[in-house]
Amino acid sequence: MSATFEPVIGRYIRTELLGRQHRIYVEEAGQGIPLLCLHTAGSDTRQYRNLLNDPQVLERYRVVAFDLPWHGKSSPPAGWHDEDYKLSSADYVAIILGIMEAMGLDNPVVMGCSIGGRVVLHLALHHPERFRAAIGLQSGAHVDPYYDLSWANRPDVHGGEACAAIVSGLIGPLSGDADRWETLWHYMQGGPGIFKGDLYFYTQDGDIRDEVAKIDTSRCPLYLLTGEYDYSCTPEDTLDLKRRIAGVEATIMPGLGHFPMSEDHVAFMAHLVPVLDKIAKTGTPKG
Amino acid sequence: MIDGLTEAVNRRESLVRRGRYVTTRMLVEVGDLAYLVEIEQGRIASVRRGPFVMPSWTFALRAPADAWSAFFAPVPQPGFHDLFALLKKRLLRIEGDLHPFMANLRYFKEIFAALREETHR
């Protein structure tokens, strides 16, 4: 029998967020420039398992990922049993800044996917001084709902099965079975109503179409990487950002879908490594 | 092309098992062609080809013929590779009592994927 330990360390942080006490699960590995990773709607940090294990990243970057409240191994706050979870733009930004403060993360690179790819636009616009650079995976300024979200959370439909089946086609067709089904398993494990609550940010409150042109990439360099098979945040959505934000760099990743870091790490790294190289060389730490 | 569902699904035991709680009748429209697909406990009991007079069905999937052709390509182009991709493009319309469809969404996506696979065997 052989067994290996991964370099990933998991811990819990007790901290106040949004005026309430929270218990938040955090994973990290590596050393160097802090790289704060944000998972997609209804999922958790396990999406970054391959990045957290990649030696070529860990030798230069301290990779940090946390489960949003209500997600993964982070608990919902006391009183949750009488609430409907609903992620707003203001809360999402406050949670990220709160975790950075709790962890003492100074001037990190922030990288988010899907809802995370949206919120990095909010961060680059409103808090550019806090970040060395931002990387948006599957970033778009807005997504119109294209199916009835209520199916994701009702007692007569298994929420985990429904959420996984809703997102299954967003994975690129070339993804291997192991990573494809691991990605879907995370969705099957989400708590009731969490995916739907995150999509409130994605489809309504997080709409940033009117403001994206104001993002100043000289204050916070912005890189966008989008998989071509994503029909939620489409390559067209990302290219629209490229047209509207001066100085942004955007790449469409062939064969990949909505979860590049989770569905096909090797293919994803071919696009991410040049961005990380560039940030390490040119990104000037602020503050 | 929808005729092939019977063989594509019934020879895949794990797919039939996944649909063990699915007993329903769905209408599939490929452009002007209509098909009534009868499903009993995950097994395709029959596929009948229209035209029909006063058909009854629980839910319907309707898309233009060229959208289905693109969906059934061996490696479909982005935007045509999944039922929900067609839905996002507003090419597929899903209507009726959607409870059995959404409660068993993985099953329904996979029977159409199985038909694609079968077409290119």
Q: How far does chain B reach from its first CA to its final CA, in angstroms?
A: 14
The per-residue pLDDT for A28 is 98
Q: In whole numbers, what is the pLDDT of chain A averaged over residues?
A: 96
- pLDDT greater than 70 at residue A237: yes
Is B87 a member of any domain?
no
Residue-wise over A52-86: b if at least 16 C-beta within 10 A, else e? bbbeebbeebbbbbbbbbbbbbbbbbeeeeeeebe
What is the C-alpha to C-alpha distance for residues B78 and A172, in angstroms, rounded to an integer?
Answer: 9
Classify B6 in phi/psi space as left (phi over 0), alpha (psi -120 to 50) or beta. Answer: alpha
- Rounded distance between C-alpha atoms, residue B87 and residue B40, angstroms: 26
pLDDT at A285 (0 to 100)? 53
User: Quick check: A217 pLDDT over 70?
Assistant: yes
CB distance B35 to B74 below 8 Å: no
What is the value of ipTM here, to two decimals? 0.96
Q: Would you say residue B21 lies in a domain?
A: yes
Asked, for residue B34, whether it belongs to a domain, the answer is yes
pLDDT score of A114 more than 50: yes
H or E stretch at A36: strand A33-38
Percent of chain A with pLDDT over 90: 96
Mutation test of the interface with chain B: which of A142, A161, A167, choosing the one with the most B Cβ atoms within 10 A? Answer: A161
pLDDT value of residue B121:
81
Average pLDDT over residues B68-73: 97
Whether B69 is covered by a domain: the verdict is no
Interface contact A231-B82, CB threshold 8 A:
yes
**Closest partner CB to B78 (pick from A161, A165, A228):** A228
Give the pLDDT confidence score for residue A287 in this predicted structure: 46
Asked if the C-beta of A259 comes within 8 angstroms of chain B's C-beta atoms, the answer is no
Residue B77: inside a domain: no
| Residue of B3 and A287 predicted with greater confidence | B3
Distance, in Å, from the CA atom of A123 to the CA atom of A130, rounded to the nearest integer, reads 8
Smallest Cβ distance to A162: which of B76, B79, B105? B105
Asked if the model's pLDDT at residue A47 lies above 50, the reply is yes
- Is the residue at B70 inside a domain? no
Given a cut of 80, whether residue B114 has pLDDT beyond it is: yes
Q: Which residue of A has its CA nearest to B18?
A: A161
Q: What is the pLDDT of residues A119-159, one digit of tens each?
A: 999 999 999 999 999 999 999 999 988 999 999 999 999 99
Contacts of B85 in chain A (CB under 8 A): 169, 231
CATH number at residue B23: 3.30.1050.10
The answer as to whether B11 is a domain residue is yes
Q: Indicate the pLDDT class of residue A286, thresholds 50, 70 and 90.
A: low
Q: Name residues whose C-beta falls within 8 Å of residue A176's C-beta, 6 or more positions apart in sequence.
A: A264
C-alpha distances (whole Å) from A38 to each of A118, A213, B12 are 10, 23, 38
The answer to whether position B50 is within a domain reads yes
Position A283 scores a pLDDT of 60
Mean pLDDT of B49-67: 97
Domain that holds residue B35: 2-63+93-119
**Per the CB < 8 Å rule, is A231 touching B89?**
yes
Chain A CB within 8 Å of residue B105 CB: yes
Pairing of strands B93-96, B59-63: antiparallel
Return the number of CB contacts < 8 Å for A and B.
54
Tally of domains within chain B: 1
Share of chain A above pLDDT 70, in %: 98
